[in-house]
Amino acid sequence: MNVIGIKYNMEVVKKRTKRKKFMKHKELVESDYVLTPEWCAKDIMEYFAPTGKVLDPCRGLNKVFHNQMPNDADWCEIQEGKNFFEYDKSVDWIIGNPPYSIFHDWMEHSFAIADNIVYLLPTFKIFNALGLCRMYGQNGWIKHIRFYDVGKEIEWSRSRPIVAVHFQKNYFGDTSWSYYEKGNKLFHPQTLIDVGQ
């Protein structure tokens, strides 16, 4: 097979894969629909203070993040016929509470369209697969982690720690962290550094 044939076949594979991904993610998984408390969304928006073009990728019916965003912010919501995987405009920031069952694909698409990504997540979700860590290594690392306590303390049924994680495209520096604890805004970031330095 010549080089042109290989290139054509790779493009066909990419198109098929993209089409399958869109088809695969057309359904709402009930366990992925987790409401974010308004105070939590408000703190995330105040703390990270996004500028430029902002996207709420999974607005939800309560629109809790979207209501805190600038008026010109864009949004997606599968229940309203706007599938995030079909969104192809570049944005400066994506902020939201993503579906966990398809997190790897969600992050992949997020990195494809955004410079800054802030997602509210249980801590285990960030590093639960080697493929995710490789994706971060290729696209951009975690700039900041904001801790919010365990899920049941922020009105979620989960007992794992919940965090807002700021990924930044092409950033590979240190990760800082801060806490929001029982209504106290603790804005003093700490930096996670390599102990061997």
pLDDT (0 to 100) of residue 160 = 72
7 pLDDT more than 90: no
The count of residues in the chain is 197
Angle between helices 103-113 and 130-139 (to 10 degrees): 0
Give the model confidence (pLDDT) of 118-168 as tens digits. 999 988 888 888 999 999 999 999 999 998 865 555 555 555 778 999 999
What the chain holds in terms of domains, given with CATH numbers, is 3-192 (3.40.50.150)
The two tokens of residue 170 are 């092409």
pLDDT (0 to 100) of residue 33 = 59
Give the model confidence (pLDDT) of 158-184 as tens digits. 557 789 999 999 999 999 989 886 655
* Mean pLDDT for all residues in the chain: 79
pTM over 0.75: yes
75 with 61: CB under 8 angstroms? no
pLDDT tier for residue 70 given thresholds of 50, 70 and 90: very high
Q: Across the beta sheet with 114-122, what order do the strands follow? A: 74-75, 54-56, 91-96, 114-122, 161-168, 142-150, 175-181, 184-192
Give the model confidence (pLDDT) of 24-67 as tens digits. 555 555 555 567 888 889 999 999 999 999 999 999 888 999 99
